[in-house]
Amino acid sequence: MLGPLGEQAARYLDLLSVRQRLVGANLANLDTPGYQTKDIDFQFEFLSAANSAQPNVIEPGGLVVKNDGNNVSLHRETRLLAENALRFNVATTLLKGEMRMVRRAIGDGRNG
């Protein structure tokens, strides 16, 4: 029932949900020896043609590894939480607009 913009916004929200769970797991393991940060390549996954597949979980490179082998950065994870919240607000605004257009079209069809 959603148009292309609505479908993209829904896919975007799905990816945000996956990232939110990964960031939560990373934060929960902040002090776990040997734990490696997990994430998704958000832009790649969003633009990927394989929309129906689960996104690829990656271990991002370039993170500082502590003496215990853990590479979770509190600063990075809290930044990702804030970024995710902003992205969520944008996506839900787009989706609400799409739903408004669908409701309007249904209403016009009934009245016409």
Per-residue pLDDT of the chain (112 residues; tens, 9 = 90+): 567 777 888 888 999 999 999 999 999 999 999 999 999 998 899 888 656 678 899 999 999 999 999 999 999 999 999 999 999 999 898 888 888 888 888 887 666 5
Total domains present in the chain: 1
Q: What is the pLDDT of residue 1?
A: 59
Q: What is the pLDDT of residue 76?
A: 98
What is the 8-class DSSP label of residue 51? Answer: T
CA atoms within 13 A on the CB side of 74: 3
H-type alpha helices, 1-112: 4-28, 42-47, 74-111
d(C-alpha 22, C-alpha 56), whole Å: 12
d(C-alpha 111, C-alpha 60), whole Å: 54
Supply the range of the domain harboring residue 11.
4-111
Residue position matching structure tokens 């689960």 = 54
Q: Under DSSP, is residue 35 helix (H, G, I), strand (E, B) or coil?
A: coil
Q: What is the pLDDT of residue 5?
A: 74
From the centroid of its chain, how far is CA 25?
14
Q: What is the pLDDT of residue 2?
A: 65
